[in-house]
Amino acid sequence: MRLYFLDPSSRAAVNVTTLRKCGYNVRRIIVESVESLDALVVIGNGSPDDKVLGTLSYHLDGGKVVGVVKPGKMTRLSVLDQLKTYLSPKMKKIMILVDQENLSLDNLFNDALSRIRKIGINVSDIEEMDRLRVYQCTLADKEFKVIIVVNGLEEVRTQTHAIEDHLTKAAGIDVTENAKQSWNSLAQNERNEVFRELKGKKRDAIEKLFPQQVSGCKCLKDEQ
């Protein structure tokens, strides 16, 4: 899976290119042009979510190209309010990547469903996985899937679950209260070292560290 940023000058695109400092071949992650897209990732938070996506792309290397966008002022599930703007004629799948924060998973997924329906999109079926939902959607005569992936790990003892849960686990840090604070307390070179070590891990280790994110990416790659 390779990434095409709808805005190549965006902060998310720039952040992913900094993986070069951690030993990544960025050309294996980012493509500069594409004829058409049928899958899109919408980053609901910011960084380091974007760098994690780049890391997953590196390990899921292949011919599939997916678009990536980080909406300007919108965050978390509010990005769903603009869902229809991403529905090009060929678009079949849209994955939303969000932090759980302090919401329960039930409330978060219920809010996602409500937002999708509120903008006039019909949901006919829901596939449930751990921290992931796949909504089968229709708008007029167009069928597509919306994949909600929620960052966080129950095993990490933190009040607000986020992508930093996964990164602190990768770093071997014991979180006592807040994974974001624990991750941000590391010096930049220490955080770079974590991403450098992630590059060298085997595929099964990446899947254990980022289970729902990998599952979401697999949904994007799946031709069904």
Length of the chain: 224
Report the distance separating Cα 35 and Cα 163, nearest Å: 31
Residue 60 lies in a domain: yes
Residue 123 lies in a domain: yes
Residue 24 lies in a domain: yes
For 90, counting Cβ atoms within 10 Å of its Cβ (0-12 exposed, 13-18 middle, 19+ buried), the class is exposed
Report the distance separating Cα 102 and Cα 57, nearest Å: 28
Classify strands 132-139 and 122-129 as parallel, antiparallel or unpaired. Answer: antiparallel
Residue 197 lies in a domain: no
Q: What is 25-39 written as a DSSP string?
A: -GGGTB-S--S--SE
Number of folded domains that form the chain: 1
Q: Give pLDDT tens digits for 207-222.
A: 999 999 999 999 998 7
Domain extent for 68: 2-95+103-150+202-221
Give me the mean pLDDT over the 10-39 stretch. 94
Other CB atoms within 10 A of residue 94 CB: 25
Residue 155 lies in a domain: no
pTM for the complete prediction? 0.94
Q: How many CA atoms lie within 13 A of 130 on its CB side?
A: 10
Residue 73 scores a pLDDT above 80: no
Query: Which of 58-72, 105-119, 157-171, 177-191 has the lowest average pLDDT?
Result: 58-72
Residue 163 lies in a domain: no
Residue 179 lies in a domain: no
Of 1, 5, 22, residue with least CA distance to 14: 5
Q: Give pLDDT tens digits for 40-58.
A: 999 988 889 999 999 999 9
Q: Give pLDDT tens digits for 103-151.
A: 999 999 999 999 999 999 999 999 999 899 999 999 998 999 999 999 9
Residue 189 lies in a domain: no
Give me the mean pLDDT over the 60-68 stretch. 87
Q: 64, 37 in Cβ contact below 8 A?
A: no
Residue 95 scores a pLDDT above 70: yes
Q: Over pLDDT 90: what percentage of the chain?
A: 75
For residue 74, the model assigns a pLDDT of: 60
Residue with tokens 């095993």: 155
Residue 224 scores a pLDDT above 60: no
